[in-house]
Amino acid sequence: MLTLSKREMERASSARDSSYDGIFFLAVKSTGIFCRPSCPARKPLPKNIEFYPTPREALFAGFRPCKRCRPMETDGKPPEWVRELLLTIEKNPTGRYGDAYLRSVQIDPARARRYFMKTYGMTFQAYARGRRLGTSLEQIRKGADLDDVVLGHGYNSHSGFREAFTKTFGRPPGKSRASDCILVTWIESPIGPLLAGATAEGVCLLEFTDRRMLEGQFATLRLRFKTAIVPGENQHLTALKQELTEYFTGARKKFSVPLVFPGTPFQEQVWKQLLKIPYGATVSYEDIARRVGSPKAVRAVGTANGMNRIAVVIPCHRVVNKNGELGGYGGGLWRKKMLLALEKGQKALFEHT
């Protein structure tokens, strides 16, 4: 649900304020097109505008992307004020970045909260805290002295650090030398941004950020792995980014990044069968049901398919209805169509749709 007032969205779109790009989209009823707030095209009359929080909702309402501002292409460039915040945190992840800091750099804390919730699924302060604590966990696992970690991460006392650390990771720092956490990062793609997550063992999450189940998937991850989810990156996420880039350009047909996908025994059976579907091929839900030894469990297969937490890499998009129709897809049928088009060699359609 949009948290901005209609007046604020009208002001932002009228001013072509690029800092609102990605926070909302405006659709023009008279043309059937939706745009970014910063679109340079001539602005329509207010009575012809509708606002949507995500491209998905605009698409499902029957609007098509503007060819001028290309709202489906985030192109890896967040608003300048967000980019500066991210750079500041990466330069000094142990710093403290509260509302006072945001105001000192002329950023409205409410805007930062909205953007980070929309983009990363957490507030700006939670993002900064996660980077700080994620860095502390890495040092603890490498054997650093707890006194050095506490003083080096902006805490004035052991108790304050211990309380924040335990709240995030579920266990006190002294018992965390062998602990892991799920690191999450943002990955751009030609069909919309994704959130990726990985443990030390492998990738455990790859979801489109506008998927409504994303919050539920995070809850499932916490339950399955019994650990915290914090922003960051490791070698598996770095490899995933590279492999996805190659996949979307048509240069990669098989992923090699290690995967970790605990679920129910039935879910794991289904997901393993999905990994066996060749690039460019499709199978039916009935086919998967037979392959897992439960030919009558077609509906259960569909449910397990929809619960897949690692989109694209575990190719649930390659499962279709028995009659050849696409069926469902958690990321939206338009994405399923695009992925299948890419894998069938229709790259030109993929790149310009």
Residues marked as catalytic: 316
Are the C-beta atoms of 238 and 272 separated by less than 8 Å?
no
Q: How far apart are CA 40 and CA 8, in angstroms?
A: 18
Q: How far apart are CA 139 and CA 181, in angstroms?
A: 13
Q: For the beta carbon of residue 2, count every other beta carbon within 10 angstroms.
A: 16
Are the C-beta atoms of 308 and 207 separated by less than 8 Å?
no
Are the C-beta atoms of 206 and 313 separated by less than 8 Å?
yes
| Amino acid in the structure at residue 51 | F
Q: How far apart are CA 211 and CA 275, in angstroms?
A: 22
- SS3 state at 345: coil
Q: How far apart are CA 221 and CA 99, in angstroms?
A: 30
Structure tokens at 240: 């995933």
Q: How far apart are CA 174 and CA 43, in angstroms?
A: 58
Are the C-beta atoms of 202 and 259 separated by less than 8 Å?
yes
Structure tokens at 120: 């990363």
Instruction: Tell me the helices (H) and strands (E) count for the chain, helix number first.
Output: 15, 10
Q: How far apart are CA 290 and CA 298, in angstroms?
A: 9
Planar angle of CA 188, 194, 195, nearest 5 degrees: 120
